[in-house]
Structure 1
Amino acid sequence: MILLKNVLKKYKTASGSLTAVQDANLTIGKGEIFGIIGYSGAGKSTMIRLLNGLEKPTSGTVQVSGYDISTIKGKELRQARQKISMIFQHFNLLWSRTVEENIAFPLEIAGVGKEARQKRVSELVEMVGLKGREKAYPSQLSGGQKQRVGIARALANNPEVLLCDEATSALDPETTDAILDLLLDINEKLGITVVLITHEMHVIRKICHRVAVMEAGQIVEQGNVLEVFQSPKADITKKFVSQVTESAEHKESISQMLDDPNSQLIQLTFVGKKAEQPVISHLIRTFDVDVNIVHGNISATKSGPYGTLIVRIAGNEENINKAIQYLDGEDVKSEVIQHAN
């Protein structure tokens, strides 16, 4: 469905050449929800512009829905864009048009007749949960409702790919979850491929199948979301994962325990069914150790539950080591948190 091969994008600036994307390689399958995460300046926005043909790569190949976006232009590019739609952070609605008129706009451009337009608009209004708000103007809508209009408009021409550029960044957490649920529902019902650009790991965790992490124009890590959560490799990925697995409260609790010489602080990572099994209870019954839970968190991902647990295990060194070996044997990833220097 989407293929990026050895993609390089450079811009000429007054001070010289700027590399926005470097040696990018991605394969995104049909019907997949794929997340691209990175902080400002990572190259995410350039990446999404490469996917819809607003930018051409300096070198490399960009293929989307059977089109070589990196080379086509004119009429062929316009045809390709009929299959590639987009929703934006700040909605980009036409303020002088009602909800239904905004949704109908791309159909008008495509030359769809009035009766067919009305039928399609009614279907989309129902799909995105805006029944009864058809005659409202954008100024009369909440942020979440505006984004629902943007999503409906993006779906008007039955695209195969939906690009989401920081689509929830302007929304509060509750509304963000509702919009993500809507995107997930659309993906499952229509089989549409969704590419999400974001700087929020919560967005990735909630609905994405796979993720690519970008830093300084490069893809530094990519893979199944659950696997990336379980074993983040790049420092930037670890920072993103900590957004949804750590809190200021548990960091404070940890700092108060680091100087205890008779115990070890250990972070445990559970994935899949292991997150639902009584591993800690068995450890306490089997080994002569005391276990104090400092912090725990279980998150749902598209691939299954992911849980982290910070525990303080107290006892003699031999028993603590046996307990850790037991955890390793149960496929529970354990990491000893070093004492502060």
Structure 2
Amino acid sequence: MIDIQNVVKRFKSNKQEITAVDHVSLSIKKGEIFGVIGYSGAGKSTLIRMINLLETPTEGKVILDGTDLSALSTKALRQKRQKIGMIFQHFNLLWSRTVKENIMFPLEIAGVPKAKREQRAQELIRLVELDGKEDQYPSQLSGGQKQRVGIARALANDPHVLLCDEATSALDPKTTDSILDLLKEINRRLGLTIVLITHEMHVIRKICDRVAVMEGGRVVEVGDVTDIFQRPQQEITKRFVQQVTKSDEILSAAADWQVDQGWVVECRFMGEVAGKPVISQLIRQFDIEVNILQGKISRLKDSSYGTLVIQVTGEEAEIKRAIGHLKSLGVGVEVLAS
């Protein structure tokens, strides 16, 4: 669907050359929700803007549906862009136009007859659940409602791809979840390929199938979200996972635990094993005692992810056998103190 081939983007600033994106290659499948996560300055916004050539790559290619976008004429690129919708952090709505008029605007530019513009706008208003708001202006809407207008407008030309540039960063947590649920439903109903960038692992956890982690203009890790949560490889990826699992809080609390009386172990559960009575089985099977110190279960897009911190006491050899058993069940295990 989308093939990003060794793209580089350099900017000149104060006679200096800055490399914002540094030889990035990604392949995004048709119909998936693909996330790109990184801190400010990682290059993720520049990367997503190169997918529709709002930024032209200094080097490399962006291929959409088999077409090299950089090889297109201005007219052909404009037509191709009609099949790439985009939503933004700060909505970018036309404040002098109503909800319906904002949604119809891309169709007006594309030369669609008024009757069809009206019909399409009403379909999209129902899709994003803004019934009754069509004649209101952006200033009369909440942040979440404004973003729903932005989503409807981005869908006006029936695009194949939807790009989301920090689309929930300006929203409160409850509204963020409602927008993410809407994007997930749009992906399910329309089969739309969604590419989103964010600095929040909660967003990745909730709706993405796969994720690429960016740092310093490069992609340092990429994979299925479940694999990234269970086995993060890079330090920056581990920090992002900790946004959701709160391992940093666990470690900071370790000083309060009586580690001299046993081992403190963090267990990470993914999928089916998250719902099984693993700890009770462990106590029955091995000559150890287990004290639960802290735990949390989170939902990924299509599965569960849980963390549990336990204090295990007993003979060292028996503790090691118990840990080995947990690993054999597919539980991620990290010894925090022993």
TM-score w.r.t. the length of structure 1 is 0.96
CA contact (8 A) 1:65 1:83 kept: no
* Secondary structure of 2:171 counterpart: coil
Q: State the Cα distance separating 1:333 from its structure 2 match.
A: 1.7
Q: State the Cα distance separating 1:283 from its structure 2 match.
A: 0.4
* 2-structure distance, mates of 1:123, 1:47: 31
* Secondary structure of 2:8 counterpart: strand
Q: What residue is the counterpart of 2:157 in the other structure?
A: 157
CA deviation profile, 1:238-262 (whole Å, cap 9, x unmatched): 00000000167544532212x6223
CA contact (8 A) 2:32 2:194 kept: yes
CA deviation profile, 1:129-175 (whole Å, cap 9, x unmatched): 00001110000000000000000000000000000000000000000
Q: What residue is the counterpart of 1:263 in the other structure?
A: 262
* 2-structure distance, mates of 1:16, 1:253: 45
* Secondary structure of 1:124 counterpart: helix
Unmatched segments (≥5 aa) in structure 1: none
CA contact (8 A) 2:52 2:81 kept: yes
Q: 2:34 corresponds to which letter in structure 1? A: F
Q: 1:265 corresponds to which letter in structure 2? A: V
Q: 1:202 corresponds to which letter in structure 2? A: H
* 2-structure distance, mates of 1:111, 1:66: 26
Q: What residue is the counterpart of 2:64 in the other structure?
A: 64
Q: What residue is the counterpart of 1:217 in the other structure?
A: 217
* Secondary structure of 2:11 counterpart: strand
* 2-structure distance, mates of 1:42, 1:175: 26
Q: State the Cα distance separating 1:73 from its structure 2 match.
A: 3.5
* 2-structure distance, mates of 1:247, 1:287: 26
CA deviation profile, 1:62-90 (whole Å, cap 9, x unmatched): 11233312332410110110111100000
Q: What residue is the counterpart of 2:311 in the other structure?
A: 312
Q: What residue is the counterpart of 1:187 in the other structure?
A: 187
Q: What residue is the counterpart of 1:272 in the other structure?
A: 271
* Secondary structure of 2:111 counterpart: coil
* Secondary structure of 1:70 counterpart: helix
User: In the alignment, does 2:16 pair up with 1:24?
Assistant: no
Q: 1:12 corresponds to which letter in structure 2? A: K
Q: CA RMSD in A?
A: 1.3
Q: What residue is the counterpart of 2:94 in the other structure?
A: 94
CA deviation profile, 1:91-130 (whole Å, cap 9, x unmatched): 0000000000000100100001111111101100000000
Superposed, 1:158-307 pairs within 5 Å as 158-246=158-246, 250-257=250-257, 260-307=259-306
- Once structures 1 and 2 are overlaid, which stretch shifts more, 273-282 or 6-15? 6-15
CA contact (8 A) 2:85 2:154 kept: yes
Unmatched segments (≥5 aa) in structure 2: none
* 1-structure distance, mates of 2:201, 2:332: 21
- Once structures 1 and 2 are overlaid, which stretch shifts more, 57-66 or 159-168? 57-66
Q: 2:145 corresponds to which letter in structure 1? A: Q
CA contact (8 A) 2:251 2:336 kept: no
Q: 1:209 corresponds to which letter in structure 2? A: D
Q: 1:248 to 1:271 in 2, by over 3 A?
A: closer
* 2-structure distance, mates of 1:329, 1:227: 17
* Secondary structure of 2:40 counterpart: coil
Superposed, 1:8-47 pairs within 5 Å as 8-47=8-47
* 2-structure distance, mates of 1:169, 1:95: 20
TM-score w.r.t. the length of structure 2 is 0.97
* Secondary structure of 2:36 counterpart: strand
Q: State the Cα distance separating 1:211 from its structure 2 match.
A: 0.2
CA deviation profile, 1:169-213 (whole Å, cap 9, x unmatched): 000000000000000000100001000110000000000000000
- Once structures 1 and 2 are overlaid, which stretch shifts more, 311-320 or 219-228? 311-320
Superposed, 1:126-165 pairs within 5 Å as 126-165=126-165
CA deviation profile, 1:314-335 (whole Å, cap 9, x unmatched): 1121221121121122121211
CA contact (8 A) 2:36 2:212 kept: yes
Q: 1:266 corresponds to which letter in structure 2? A: V
Q: What residue is the counterpart of 1:329 in the other structure?
A: 328
* Secondary structure of 2:71 counterpart: coil
